[in-house]
Structure 1
Amino acid sequence: PPLAALAGAPLLLAAGLTACLLTTLAKWLLVGRFQPGERPLWSSFVWRNELFDTFVEVLAVPWGAGAHLGTPALNWWLRSLGARVGRGVWCETYWLPETDLVSLGDGVSVNRGCVLQTHLFHDRIMRMDTVRVADGASLGPHSIALPGTTIGTGASIAASSLVMRGETVPGGTRWAGNPIAGATPPRADGVLPTEEAA
């Protein structure tokens, strides 16, 4: 039994790495590089994209990526899928549907359960756009940023908040709500006020 346990760890690690590599390969073979734009619901692109998403959720996350949320290993994997991930990024989510359309600046914090939603369907048309999170910005747990959003340098989005499609969040401000509202500007010294002072 002790030998089996010792052998099991490297096997599980190899299985996780293989799952992530196969998912990366599937992404590039099935859909290539994502671009902002529109695609009809019943097009082969949408179904190939859904198949890629199945690789992510059924293969990569349970076998590998899910155990590495918030680690440099996840950042490397997201980069292999085409996401632009800066240095020192804390990314505790794998919900970046069209990875090429996501840009995370240096020191960004994307907390557990966040969704960087790069597409929406309207009138049976899939519309894709970028989600940009600038240096030092943070998204609280279970927040959602919809397509076409830009979150400015050092901006903070509170937990369970929704950044609506096409919104630009100014740098150094704090927002909360579904949808977000009530910006709190930084103090003169550039520090955000505490909850008690707000």
Structure 2
Amino acid sequence: MTATSHGRARFLWAAVSVVFVETIITGLALAPAVLFLHWQATWPLSTWLRLALASLAFVPVYLACACSLMLYSALATKALGWRTPANVELPLGDFSWPVLNWGRYLMTIHVVRIFAGPAFRSTTIWNWYMRLNGARVGRNVWVNSLSLMDHNLLEFADGVVIGSDAHVSGHVVERGILKTAAVRLDRNTLVGIGSVVGIGVESGADVQVGALSVVPKFAKLEAGGVYVGVPVVRLH
């Protein structure tokens, strides 16, 4: 087989495997809800009363399924070694195993943030999921955004606040090349609403990034500074 054929075979295997794993994870997460509805259907009650009880159970059942999905997804990616490789520059078109593992890792994060993120973002439960999924998250961290990827390359010290719709990621794709680097935010760093933090960014303590700002990749933000703009500049 040629190198191109090997790459296509790897891509096909990765696609099939992530669908299989997500099917198992989702099935396990939904199992309690399915069992509850099956059990509830056997109760000696009128149809209307059973429907009313099933409706009232929707929210707690959904929350239980969402928590299960976060748990199983994080455990599966850890067991399978699906992570974003650190400090690499890899062609996407080669479909190398590090690239494919990165893709499968991001797919599992995407599924969780769709089905569990709306309920749990900006809570300690979301922080717990990110830690279990590879992130290093300190105490009293508040993440009010679902646009955080590459959890294993994110490090948030105590008191970090990520505003709504802020984008923080450990990867960027430029001209077909996957580039990765860790993002490290020191204590009490604030990332404003809708801001973008590039790969390799490091902030000192007590840094503030204004809303709708862009922090370029590999930028070093000095402690105590206030940064705004596209790209950011220090105000004081």
Normalising by the residue count of structure 1, what TM-score does the alignment of the two structures yield? 0.84
Distance 2:151 2:202 in 1: 15
- Deviation, 1:123, is 4.0
> Does 2:198 correspond to 1:152?
no
The DSSP-based 3-state class of the residue aligned with 2:211 is: coil
* Residue 25 (structure 2) aligns with: none
* Residue 179 (structure 1) aligns with: 231
* Residue 9 (structure 1) aligns with: 59
Q: Would the alpha carbon gap of residues 27 and 39 (structure 1) be closer, same or farther in structure 2, given more than 3 Å must change? A: farther
- Deviation, 1:184, is 2.5
Q: Is 75-84 or 30-39 further displaced after alignment?
A: 30-39
Q: Is 25-34 or 12-21 further displaced after alignment?
A: 25-34
Q: Indicate the structure with greater helix content.
A: 2
The DSSP-based 3-state class of the residue aligned with 2:179 is: strand
Runs of 5+ consecutive residues of structure 2 not aligned to the other structure: 1-50
Q: Indicate the structure with greater strand content.
A: 1
Of 210, 213, 220, which residue of structure 2 is paired with 1:161?
A: 213
Q: Please tell me the root mean square deviation across aligned C-alpha atoms, in Å.
A: 1.8
Q: Is the 8 A contact 1:87 1:107 kept in 2?
A: yes
> Does 2:69 correspond to 1:19?
yes
Structure 1 stretches (4+) deviating beyond 3 angstroms?
none
Normalising by the residue count of structure 2, what TM-score does the alignment of the two structures yield? 0.72
Q: Would the alpha carbon gap of residues 179 and 72 (structure 1) be closer, same or farther in structure 2, given more than 3 Å must change? A: same
> Does 2:109 correspond to 1:56?
yes
Distance 1:38 1:9 in 2: 44
Provide the aligned length of Structure 1 versus Structure 2: 183
Q: Is 10-19 or 70-79 further displaced after alignment?
A: 10-19
User: How does 1:44-83 map onto structure 2 within 5 Å?
Assistant: 44-57=97-110, 59-83=111-135
Distance 1:62 1:144 in 2: 20
Q: Is the 8 A contact 2:197 2:215 kept in 1?
A: yes
- Deviation, 1:53, is 1.8
- For the pair shown, the structure with the greater C-alpha radius of gyration is 2
> Does 2:110 correspond to 1:40?
no
Whichever residue aligns with residue 8 of structure 1, its letter is F
- Deviation, 1:117, is 2.0
Q: Is the 8 A contact 2:84 2:98 kept in 1?
A: no
> Does 2:187 correspond to 1:135?
yes
Identity %: 26
Runs of 5+ consecutive residues of structure 1 not aligned to the other structure: 186-198
- Deviation, 1:172, is 0.8
Distance 1:98 1:144 in 2: 14
* Residue 169 (structure 2) aligns with: 117
Deviations 1:87-120 (A, max 9, x none): 0011112333211111111111101111112112
